[in-house]
Homo-oligomer: A and B are copies of this chain.
């Protein structure tokens, strides 16, 4: 299941950034599962990784390599996460970087590895290494759509976002931002999504690019949850090739971040729309909180409550479960008598109890659409935060009870 039916968008190429996809047969013969991305020299690269202490071998290596050199290639496989694989996993990830580096005459440290798929299985190295030349041969600035398919696991849809904008209305010059992501289960990114790759032809120095990446990730990939399970492999990479010739500096940084945020939120929401077993796309908006921390505590407690999520699956306006989740979120000195809650446009709770105007019929109508907004007002401050999530369905249980079989 999945929600929404937005078609895969037109992907504007980013000058200088090429993608090549092939099938290595890592888990399923014939399936696109290996992607190589080529970054031009002079590009800036920023990346964020999972905060899970059990981070996968490729994540360990990425962090090391980024400390020593600027990446020229990204090497991505699905079908195997290379996580929980110990020293052998590290050796395997390193070997795949070495092999691609040798093929393309760059240093081992200029190749960043990314893996996603089942945890704890050894990587089928011969298949992976054998397919590298085909992936390299496919490198093309128009390779985005194939790459979006090539990084999928339990995803039912490829996920892409792309836009162009004119930073200076008096000049026809454009900046392009294009990106792909994957993810469907084990989704509560903590710094990044399962996998996301975004490129722009803007010219952005490394410090500014990192700042932009942190800002927009905190409003997109770090605001989604399918099942509260933070993955071992979450990684997001942002590449600025500079090929547009347009420089980003403090004067146009805010504008750039706003455009980048549009692409990031699109990619993050696409993961939620394709959440495992999802039949609803749920926005949890908490406003008038005292601070960001308490707004997020309330939003995530509601978004992750199994009882709220099963009620959503049943299109049941079970506001009691929403209140119970708000009440256990751990907000200090919460005055429950100030709280109001709406489902889409229907006020269901005011002053901590059922709204006087509320009827079951109105609640049922509010819950019918595929897209539901749970809007919670704490009425104790000025801060708002938004988190996106899914419902919890039979299908989620089926997918995750059968994943390895």
Contact = CB atoms under 8 A, between A and B. Distances in A.
A328 B351 CA distance: 36
Contacts of A314: 400-402, 405
A266 to B, nearest CB: 26
A400 B306 CA distance: 9
Given A228-B305, A320-B118, A325-B229, A336 B53 contact: yes
Contact of A53 (B83, B228, B327, B351): B327
A54 interface: yes
Contacts of A354: 84-86, 120
Interface string A374-405: 00000000000000000011101110111111
Contacts of A257: none
Interface string A58-90: 000000000000000000000001011111010
B190 A328 contact: yes
Nearest to A324: B232
Interface in A79-123: 81, 83-87, 89, 118-120
B55 A327 contact: yes
Given A54-B324, A327-B54, A404-B318, A307 B185 contact: yes
A227 interface: yes
Given A185-B307, A401-B313, A230 B394 contact: no
A319 B85 CA distance: 12
Interface in A122-164: none
Number of copies: 2
Contacts of A311: 400-401
Contacts of A306: 227-229, 306, 392, 396, 400
A323 interface: yes
A54 B323 contact: yes
Nearest to A352: B86
A53 B328 contact: yes
Contact of A319 (B84, B231, B305, B336): B84
Given A119-B323, A119-B324, A120-B319, A84 B353 contact: yes
A51 interface: yes
A366 to B, nearest CB: 15
A238 interface: no
A331 interface: yes
A52 B376 CA distance: 17
A313 B85 CA distance: 25
Given A53-B336, A310-B401, 8 more contacts: A118-B320, A119-B324, A120-B320, A228-B306, A230-B327, A306-B396, A313-B397, A313-B401
